[in-house]
Amino acid sequence: MSSFLNQQVLVLNRLWQAVNVCSVRRALTLLFEGHAQAVVGAEDGSFQTYNFKTWTDLSQSDPTSECIHSISLRMRVPRVILLLIFDRMPKKEVKFTRHNIFERDHNTCQYCGVLFDRSGLNLDHVIPRDHGGPTTWENIVCSCIRCNTRKANRTPREAGMLLVRKPKRPKWRPFIQINLGVHCHDSWKHFVDLAYWNVELGEEAG
Cα–Cα distance between 180 and 195 in angstroms, integer? Answer: 11
Domain that holds residue 44: 2-90+175-188
**Is 80 in the same domain as 110?**
no
Q: What is the mean pLDDT of the chain?
A: 80
**Is 17 in the same domain as 74?**
yes
* The pairing of beta strand 121-125 with beta strand 140-144: antiparallel
Q: Considering the domain boundaries, does residue 201 fall inside one? A: no
**Is 86 in the same domain as 11?**
yes
Pick from 11-25, 37-51, 174-188: least confident: 174-188
Give the per-residue pLDDT at 131.
Answer: 93
**Number of folded domains that form the chain:** 2
Q: Which segments of 160-202 does DSSP mark as H helices, in order?
A: none
pLDDT tens digits for range 142-166 = 999 999 999 999 999 999 999 999 9
Which residues, including other chains, have CB under 8 Å from residue 98's CB and lie 6 or more apart?
123, 202, 203, 204, 205
Cα–Cα distance between 176 and 108 in angstroms, integer? Answer: 27
**Is 25 in the same domain as 104?**
no
Q: How far apart are the first and last CA of the chain?
A: 49
